[in-house]
Amino acid sequence: MKKYSILIWIVFLGLFINCSNDDNGGGGDPNPGTPNIDRSANLLATGASANDLLSNTNFTKLRIEVAHVPGFRPTQVAMDEFLSFIRARTFKEDIEVVFNEIPSPGNETLTLQQIADLEIENRTAYNDGDTLAIYIFFADAPSDDDEEDAGLVTLGAVYRNTSMIIFESTIRTLAARSSLITNADVESATLNHEFGHLFGLVNLGSPAVNDHEDADAENHCNVNPCLMRAELEFGGGMMAMLEDMASKGLAAPALDPECILDLQANGGR
């Protein structure tokens, strides 16, 4: 369980470093060599845009940029299930998905700093008027924090208020080992779990109405089963849960009533 707390700490440390370096403390354009785009609203802490995602108070449209290296585009099944998840929990009716194929960075592993740097180089969608922009990168390299010998591999992470990384190569490796689970199954569960953090779960921008945060895994749910369980962020726990549910003919992990109550209290459905 200690691994979960360590990852969250790393995520927030990476966020602090990224924001400090990117905007020089002033919230300006982190890449002055490009046209002047105000990125400041997309360089905030994870969960800072929870209400904006859930409600239509400030933004009525959602633009999701899916960046991926050649050959690592997510399955259409997973994307369809992901959009259904968003529509079920938010009031966003106008949702656009744009795919952006980018060159492979050629890294054997990726640190959060490298991931953030790649976003600055390749992201094209930023908040604009009544449109809230989300960036999701599907990588062809695993996380630098993985401990494969211990069976601890990371499937995804959030590192800013509108930014996510999905370790697609790791997902495919794990799914290939199972006769019950497909790439789409793991992609969908990972996307929904990480987007749950952008929604502010748990106590990450959407305060808990009732206490249900895991004492051993910060910003994760202690209700079992729930999409926001900490183990769904890591390969072994994800595969165990998905295979167990599949063997029983059950649907993929979903948000438990406590998480849904939190989202509703913060402007969601």
pLDDT tens for the 269 residues of the chain, in order: 334 333 433 333 333 323 223 333 333 444 444 567 889 999 999 999 999 999 999 999 999 999 999 999 999 999 999 999 999 999 999 999 999 999 999 999 999 999 999 999 999 999 999 999 999 999 999 999 999 887 789 999 999 999 999 999 999 999 999 999 999 999 999 999 999 999 999 999 999 999 999 999 999 999 999 999 998 888 788 888 889 888 888 878 899 999 999 999 999 99
Whether residue 112 contacts residue 11, with contact meaning beta carbons closer than 8 Å, is answered with: yes
Note the helical H segments in the chain: 2-23, 50-54, 76-89, 112-122, 168-175, 183-198, 235-247, 257-265
List the structure tokens of 178. 């199972």
Task: Identify which of 144, 241, 114, 134 has the alpha carbon closest to the alpha carbon of residue 197.
Answer: 134
Please name the residue that has the structure tokens 């995804």: 156
d(CA 165, CA 138): 6
Residue position matching structure tokens 């959407």: 206
The answer to whether residues 5 and 218 touch, using CB atoms and an 8 Å cutoff, is yes
How far is C-alpha 236 from the chain's CA centre? 18
CB-based burial of residue 209 (10 Å sphere; 0-12 exposed, 13-18 middle, 19+ buried)? Answer: middle
